[in-house]
Structure 1
Amino acid sequence: MTDSDRVRAHVFVTGRVQGVYYRANTRDTADERGVAGWVRNLEDGRVEAVFEGPESAVESMVDWCHEGSPAASVTDVEVTYEEPTDEEDFRIRY
């Protein structure tokens, strides 16, 4: 894959997204779809994530964020596209 084939989405998810396994489900879903990046909880109750990889896989992760884990209740998803930074795997940040 060339750098031009990769995209990077920086996402902020609002709603009931902490304490509902949102991060773990994000990691598992990203791994299944071959997307690199990271996810973490923010002090204001939101979840922040970065998805990097093939455009179709990254877009599927952004779409997935609108539903999230089964117990989540998402009210908003903000997405900004950035230059890829060669993320190699997907991890939960603490």
Structure 2
Amino acid sequence: MSEHARLVAWVRGRVQGVGFRWYTRARALEIGGLSGFALNLADGRVQVVAEGPRDGCQELLKWLVGDDTPGRVDGVTEIWDTPRGGYDGFAIR
């Protein structure tokens, strides 16, 4: 069984107004076992917080930095932490 982790990622590029948060939520639900959210930030980035099995979080991160996302991702900054809980599913904020 995979240990649980918390991934916080800030995605830079043309990631607002292109369905990025919706597709991120869909991908998280497809992976399964993840909870958290995707949020547009005032500076044009999208913040993604995902908690769940570490391998699921890593799979979501791999998708975020890959070529299959909507818009254009110029870079992703991520930090890993201990899960805090309190999320009901995976939300778009």
TM-score by length of 1: 0.88
Letter in 2 for 1:13: V
**Deviation of 1:83 (Å):** 1.4
In 1, Cα distance between equivalents of 2:65 and 2:80: 17
Residue-by-residue CA offset, 1:9-65 (whole Å, 9 max, x unaligned): 000000010011000000001011111110010010000010111111100001111
Residue 79 of structure 2 corresponds to residue 92 of structure 1: no
Identity of aligned residues (%): 39
CA RMSD of aligned residues (A): 1.6
Identify the residue that residue 26 of structure 1 maps to in structure 2.
24
Which blocks of at least 5 consecutive residues in structure 1 are unaligned? Answer: none
Letter in 2 for 1:40: L
Identify the residue that residue 41 of structure 1 maps to in structure 2.
40
**Deviation of 1:69 (Å):** 2.8
Following TM superposition, where does structure 1 have runs of at least 4 consecutive aligned residues deviating by more than 2 angstroms?
Answer: 67-70
The count of corresponding residues between Structure 1 and Structure 2 is 90
Identify the residue that residue 6 of structure 1 maps to in structure 2.
4
Letter in 2 for 1:92: I
In 1, Cα distance between equivalents of 2:81 and 2:43: 23
Which blocks of at least 5 consecutive residues in structure 2 are unaligned? Answer: none
